[in-house]
Amino acid sequence: MAYVDGFLVPVPRRNLKKYLAMSKKCGKVWRSHGAVEYRECVADDVKKGKWTSFPQSVKLKRGEVVVYSWIVYKTKAARNKTNKAVFADKRMAPMMNPKKMPFDGKRMIWGGFKLAVDL
């Protein structure tokens, strides 16, 4: 059964094009090393909640938008192998400098998930 890495990222709207361009490059690297899917979604109908919400989860600031992303792998073992290869891939080096990232990586949320329902 598939395994999924999920992400929530606060991206300044002024950097959104740069972020998506970077994401396309990253997606190509992930796919070349075995990821089955690579998706990035920009918040469109996401409101700040009373107790919890996507904006609150990343401490969204004025002028930012939440990006919801996921990468699908065949298995958790495939994910671990893929991620090891991705982070060793020379194409990733220019995108890994925290000072040059088009978002605040300290407020990014991510984690690995076992697929529970697949219809």
Q: Say what the pLDDT of residue 100 is.
A: 86
pLDDT less than 70: residues of the chain? none
Q: Say what the pLDDT of residue 98 is.
A: 84
Q: Say what the pLDDT of residue 97 is.
A: 86
This prediction has a pTM of: 0.93
Comparing CA positions, the residue from 90, 113, 74 lying closest to residue 25 is 90
CA distances from 77 to 1, 28, 63, 85, 111 (A): 11, 20, 38, 12, 15
Q: Say what the pLDDT of residue 78 is.
A: 98
Sign of CA dihedral 7, 20, 45, 36: negative
User: What's at 11, amino acid-wise?
Assistant: V
Q: Say what the pLDDT of residue 72 is.
A: 98
The domain defined by 3-114 folds into Alpha-Beta Plaits (3.30.70)
Q: Say what the pLDDT of residue 99 is.
A: 84
